[in-house]
Amino acid sequence: MTAGLHLPIKALAAIGAILSATSLSADTYCVRDVVGGEAKLPVEIEQPYRIASDPITIPGFDGLVFKAVNRHQLYEYDGSRYNLIESDFPHVWGFAFEHGIHVNLNGNAYGFGSKPKVIFYHQDGTSSWEPIEATRDYWDAFFDQGAGEAYFRTSRRADAWNRIVAGRVQPQEPLPIFHGDITRSVRTVPEISGAFALTGGPSLTVRQSSSIWFRADGGTWRRIPMTLPDGARLFDTLLDAVIEVSGDLVRIFPENNAFKPLFFKLADGNMTFAGFAPAGDWTRHPATGVWFGWSGPDAQTKRGVERMRPKAFMLGPGEVRATLVENLEPPVLDKDFYLPKTVMLSGEMPAFLSDSHGFLAFDGSGFSRPAGLSYENLGDLPRVRSLGGKHLSQSEKGVFEIKEDLSVVRFDNFPIVQPWTHLVSIDYVDAWEVFVIADKASGKLFASSNMQEFEVIPSTEPLRSIISILDEPPSVLIGGQAGLVSMTDRCPP
The Cβ of residue 436 has, within 10 Å, a number of other Cβ atoms equal to 22
CB 427 within 8 A of CB 386: no
Output Rg (C-alpha) for the chain, integer angstroms: 26
Q: What per-residue confidence (pLDDT) applies to 314?
A: 97
Q: What per-residue confidence (pLDDT) applies to 265?
A: 97
pTM value is 0.89
How far, in Å, CA of 174 to CA of 182, rounded? Answer: 10
Q: What per-residue confidence (pLDDT) applies to 297?
A: 77
DSSP state of 350: P
Q: Mapping DSSP to helix (H, G, I), strand (E, B) and coil, where does residue 341 land? A: coil
Task: For 270-295, write each residue's pLDDT tens digit.
Answer: 999 999 999 999 999 999 999 999 99
Q: What's phi and psi for 262, nearest 5 deg?
A: -120, 145
Complete DSSP assignment for 112-135: E-SSS--EEEE-TT-S--EE-GGG
Q: What per-residue confidence (pLDDT) applies to 203?
A: 63
How far, in Å, CA of 87 to CA of 23, rounded? Answer: 45
Complete DSSP assignment for 182-203: EEEEEEEEGGGTEEEEEEE-S-
Helix (H) or strand (E) holding 66: strand 64-68
Half-sphere exposure for 301 (CA within 13 Å, toward CB):
2
Task: For 200-239, write each residue's pLDDT tens digit.
Answer: 886 645 567 899 999 999 999 999 999 888 778 899 999 9
CA 485 to chain centre: 25
How far, in Å, CA of 34 to CA of 470, rounded? Answer: 13
- What is the rounded (10 degree) CA torsion for 415, 420, 422, 428? 50
Q: What per-residue confidence (pLDDT) applies to 4?
A: 37
Q: What per-residue confidence (pLDDT) applies to 431?
A: 96
Q: What per-residue confidence (pLDDT) applies to 304?
A: 55
Q: What per-residue confidence (pLDDT) applies to 158?
A: 82
Q: What per-residue confidence (pLDDT) applies to 20?
A: 37
Q: What per-residue confidence (pLDDT) applies to 305?
A: 58
Q: What per-residue confidence (pLDDT) applies to 14?
A: 39
Q: Which of 415, 408, 460, 462 is nearest to 435 (CA)?
A: 415
DSSP state of 299: B
CA distances from 79 to 54, 83, 140, 263, 401 (A): 17, 11, 36, 45, 31
Q: Mapping DSSP to helix (H, G, I), strand (E, B) and coil, where does residue 377 land? A: helix
Q: Which of 418, 455, 417, 422 is nearest to 436 (CA)?
A: 455
Residues comprising the chain, all counted: 493
Q: Do β-strands 249-253 and 242-246 pair in parallel, antiparallel, or remain unpaired? A: antiparallel
Q: What per-residue confidence (pLDDT) applies to 23?
A: 52
Half-sphere exposure for 90 (CA within 13 Å, toward CB):
28
Question: Torsion-angle region of residue 134: left (phi > 0), alpha (psi -120 to 50) or beta?
Answer: alpha
Spans of the chain below 50 pLDDT: 1-22, 204
Q: What per-residue confidence (pLDDT) applies to 300?
A: 62
Q: What's phi and psi for 471, nearest 5 deg?
A: -75, -40
Largest pairwise CA distance in the chain = 100
